[in-house]
Amino acid sequence: MKTEIRKTSSLLGIGMVALLGLSACGDSAEPAEETDQEMTEETEGTDAEATEEEPMDEESMEEEEPMDDESMDESDPAANLVGASCEAYAEEVPEGEGSVGGMAQDPVATAASNNPMLTTLTAAVSGELNPDVDLVDTLNGDEFTVIAPTDDARGEIPEEDLNAVVEDADMLTEVLTYHVIPGQLSPDEIAGEHETVNGATVTVEGEGDDLTFDDAGLVCGGVMTANATVYMVDAVLMPAAAEE
């Protein structure tokens, strides 16, 4: 009888050990499964982050695309120049405030004062020739197309006639404002008849290098300033009233 009890106890002991062993194995396997799941989630998260970054790369590429021709024209003050003497002008004034690039930074009266080809015009509009005629603030204060006689054009006017205009403030103002058209006109818009600030009409004919302004020929046009488009010409324009 005692022998059977011992056998039964031994069997129960072996069963308990086996159960404990299985339990221990089960406990150690669960963390391993969780670790695998965490690794999978981390990998998926990394892939998702990489996918989210792709649109940012595309936007960066779009921002680096080159400017179109229109944008380049707007940023380059020499893009719309016309006139057979533009190259000579660039050689005479290659850089600085009076150059094509320099004039683009300032309003028109200021820009003209920096151009060594426009000293007579600058003196006339600034009150230097006649203290009663100062158009600097007017010219710098709005958008204009300015027909600008170069210094060489002064030599085409007899000294006696030039002095008569300079000494008469009303006549000088009339002549100067005849060279100014309200609004900015590009080289492909300038041809035609335009009412000037003077109130009279100036006639522009031809195209490109062959543009004429009444009887004056083009030296270099399409020169940009901060508020105006300038056409340098080889003669002083005279409105009909001033010629009488």
How far apart CA 99 and CA 184 sit, in angstroms, is 20
Angle subtended at Cα 225 by Cα 220 and Cα 229, rounded to the nearest 5 degrees: 50
With cut-offs at 50, 70 and 90, classify the pLDDT of residue 157. Answer: confident
Q: Percent of the chain scored above 90 by pLDDT?
A: 61
How far apart CA 178 and CA 181 sit, in angstroms, is 8
**What are the C-alpha distances in Å from 203 to residues 56, 76, 161?**
55, 28, 23
- Cβ 83 vs Cβ 209: under 8 Å: yes
**So what's the pLDDT on residue 16?**
44
Backbone angles phi, psi at 203, to 5 degrees: -110, 125
Distance from the first to the final alpha carbon of the chain: 155
Residue 164 has pLDDT above 50, yes or no: yes
How far apart CA 152 and CA 117 sit, in angstroms, is 8
Question: How does pLDDT run across 165-211, given as a tens digit for each residue?
Answer: 999 999 999 999 999 999 999 999 999 999 999 999 999 999 999 99
With cut-offs at 50, 70 and 90, classify the pLDDT of residue 61. Answer: very low
Span 145-169, mean pLDDT? 91
DSSP 8-state secondary structure symbol assigned to residue 24: H
Question: How does pLDDT run across 87-131, given as a tens digit for each residue?
Answer: 999 999 999 999 999 999 999 999 999 999 999 999 999 999 999
Q: Which residue has the higher pLDDT, 160 or 40?
A: 160
**So what's the pLDDT on residue 44?**
53
Question: How does pLDDT run across 4-17, given as a tens digit for each residue?
Answer: 444 444 444 444 43
- Cβ 117 vs Cβ 151: under 8 Å: yes
Backbone angles phi, psi at 181, to 5 degrees: -110, 130
Q: Which residue has the higher pLDDT, 30 or 189?
A: 189
Backbone angles phi, psi at 110, to 5 degrees: -65, -45
How far apart CA 134 and CA 126 sit, in angstroms, is 5
Give alpha helix (H) positions in 64-168. Answer: 69-75, 86-92, 100-103, 108-113, 119-125, 136-140, 151-154, 159-167
Amino acid present at 22: L
Chain-wide mean pLDDT for the chain?
Answer: 79
How far apart CA 49 and CA 10 sit, in angstroms, is 60
**So what's the pLDDT on residue 158?**
85
pTM score:
0.70
**So what's the pLDDT on residue 243?**
60
Span 217-239, mean pLDDT? 96
Span 213-226, mean pLDDT? 97
Which among 129, 210, 142 has a CA at the least distance from the CA of 176?
129
**So what's the pLDDT on residue 242?**
60
